[in-house]
Amino acid sequence: MAMVALEIPPGVVRRGTELESAGRWYDTNLVRWNDQSLQPIGGWRDRTPSSTITGTPSSIFAYTDNNPHRHIAFGCESKLYALDQGFNLSDITPASMATGRAVSTNALGYGTRNFGEDEFGTPRPQTEDTGILDATSWSMDSWGAYLLACADTDGRLLQWTNTSVSAPLTNAPTSCKGLVVTDERFVFALGAGGEPRKVAWCDQEDATTWSALATNQAGDLTLATSGVIMCGRSVRGGTLILTTVDAHIAIYSGPPFVYGFERVGDGCGIVGPNAISATATMAVWMGVEGFFTFDGYARPLRCPVSEYVFSDINRNQLAKVSSWTNPLYKEIWFHYPSSGSTECDRYVIWNYLDDIWTIGVLDRSCGTGVGVLDVPVLATATGKIYEHEVGTAYLDLTGTAMSVYAESGPIQIGIGEQIAHARQLIPDERTLGDVTASFKTRMYPTGAETTHGPFTLTNPTPVRFAGRQAKVRIEGSASTDWRVGTLRVDVIGVGKR
């Protein structure tokens, strides 16, 4: 008799074959590791306002005015909304708002292909790649007690003074890609005037003065990049500007040049305007084939689930990728559309304190974390608004309970030619009965798999299965805030017969 401890390190490792993730967690949903203990993420509750939301929310931003009252602004393809502290909805869409795009579409029509590329008068094949017109994305920031916002399909820099509707900033550039407010109290207009590499800024503390004169600090600069500007974020030491191919940092130097720009990374372009989060010490974003961070210089993140994420992502809808931070658990979340979906239906989380990754399935289009708000607030593509990290209810959009689980890769329980027979399980659980355990056994890595269980855990738990390797699956069986540590299995080894 031998007690085999299932000592599986925290975090998901998912690359290559299942056997390459041997002894690690391979698949998860709605769980996290906190202080080395496996537990469910917090649940959520519906806070959708009674008023109808038109469109698909693509970005959420929370801020506090001078009263102080908290506001939550979110943008859809052709609408800008605000929620007050009681989750009452206000339509703050400006006049003459340009019609946006709910999903990315193929670019069609005059001017979408190169001159002389095909024979004159010959119909173009519908399967040819003619480029992508990205879904509408919003960028938002606070200007003192007010909201600034810009939809890339509208291009105007909008200001909302917490009453009435938003309106364009006086004298501000138009046809912009987005905006960011710097720590030095300048507004950066990104892609200003429809020039995809141009950054323009207003005078310091004056968002209505944009013409550069000897008496002010307004100005502009065109980045030396082969990409196009996607977004900007204030970071420690400057303002980070990300393009489709590289990263630049804007550092304030004062008059006469005001800002200096330096390229701080190549081959680290971002997939979409909202695929970035910033903490007090760094920024993290999703690239085309991996994740990157900036903490003084741009560098790739080691990600043991990148093959899983990027092998099943809808590359036509990369503009929809969104990110937010959860400082309560030192997490950065990314929501992305799987290959079979036009909306974000999966997530990947990086715990930047413990450097571990988790994955899962969840229909959320965008979100914002705690800070201004007491709990994270996330939206769905259908316009529902949820408060997260509250309770232990995990219902999908149809009201059906979702599976909360963690499943390991293969664990070798037999030695050499021996087959291991398991007889009992010793659980390490905070409250017995909150979770179940299942085992999936194989004789060979590519052999037939047999499932045993689920077993409701007791101390000890009688089990009966045999194999050379086994996977364990822990699944929440009750709506409780459970904890699971290291399980132990009592096994004996026998010959092949």
Mean pLDDT of 149-169: 97
**pLDDT on residue 61:** 97
109-150, pLDDT tens digit by residue?
554 544 444 555 555 554 444 578 999 999 999 999 999 999
Answer whether residue 393 is part of any domain.
no
- The domain containing residue 381 runs over which residues? 44-388
Q: Which pTM value belongs to this model? A: 0.93
**pLDDT on residue 2:** 74
CATH (domain of 30): 2.60.120
Question: How far is 321 from 299, CA to CA, in rounded Å?
Answer: 20
Residue 347 has pLDDT above 70, yes or no: yes
Two structure tokens written together for 323: 């990110």
Judge contact between 395 and 378, C-beta under 8 A.
Answer: no
Answer whether residue 394 is part of any domain.
no
**pLDDT on residue 493:** 67
Residue 495 has pLDDT above 70, yes or no: no
Same domain for 115 and 83 = yes
Same domain for 217 and 194 = yes
Same domain for 56 and 179 = yes
Mean pLDDT of 232-258: 96
What's the gap between Cα 308 and its chain centre?
15
Answer whether residue 437 is part of any domain.
yes
Residue 399 has pLDDT above 60, yes or no: yes
Task: Indicate the pairing of strand 105-106 with strand 132-133.
Answer: antiparallel
Same domain for 371 and 271 = yes
Same domain for 58 and 37 = no
Q: Which of 4-13, 43-52, 324-333 has the least mean pLDDT?
A: 4-13
Answer whether residue 468 is part of any domain.
yes
Mean pLDDT for the chain? 91
Angle of CA points 61, 62, 65, to nearest 5°: 130
Residue 261 has pLDDT above 90, yes or no: yes
Residue 104 has pLDDT above 50, yes or no: yes
Same domain for 299 and 170 = yes
**pLDDT on residue 119:** 54
Same domain for 463 and 380 = no
Q: Helix, strand, coil % (nearest 5) of the chain?
A: 5, 45, 55
Report the number of distinct structural domains present in the chain.
2
Q: Which of 333, 353, 388 is the last residue of a domain?
A: 388
Question: How far is 26 from 13, CA to CA, in rounded Å?
Answer: 6
Same domain for 306 and 250 = yes
Mean pLDDT of 372-377: 95
Question: What SS3 state is found at 20?
Answer: helix
CATH (domain of 170): 2.130.10.10
Q: Which of 191-200, 205-214, 234-243, 437-446 has the least mean pLDDT?
A: 437-446
Answer whether residue 456 is part of any domain.
yes
Judge contact between 308 and 323, C-beta under 8 A.
Answer: no
Answer whether residue 396 is part of any domain.
no
Answer whether residue 397 is part of any domain.
no
Task: Indicate the pairing of strand 37-40 with strand 31-34.
Answer: antiparallel
**pLDDT on residue 459:** 87
Question: How far is 200 from 217, CA to CA, in rounded Å?
Answer: 11
Question: What Å distances lie between residue 140 and 63, 80, 187, 202, CA to CA?
Answer: 10, 11, 11, 16
Same domain for 424 and 344 = no
Mean pLDDT of 380-408: 95
Question: How far is 306 from 115, CA to CA, in rounded Å?
Answer: 38
Q: Which of 388, 414, 447 is the last residue of a domain?
A: 388
Mean pLDDT of 223-230: 97
Two structure tokens written together for 187: 């507004």
Same domain for 54 and 194 = yes
Same domain for 287 and 262 = yes
Judge contact between 197 and 228, C-beta under 8 A.
Answer: yes
Return the closest-CA partner of residue 373 out of 57, 60, 158. Answer: 60
Same domain for 270 and 369 = yes
**pLDDT on residue 411:** 86
Q: Which of 388, 422, 457 is the last residue of a domain?
A: 388
> Which carries the bigger pLDDT value, residue 465 or residue 391?
391
Answer whether residue 398 is part of any domain.
no
14-52, pLDDT tens digit by residue?
988 888 888 999 999 999 999 889 999 999 999 999 999
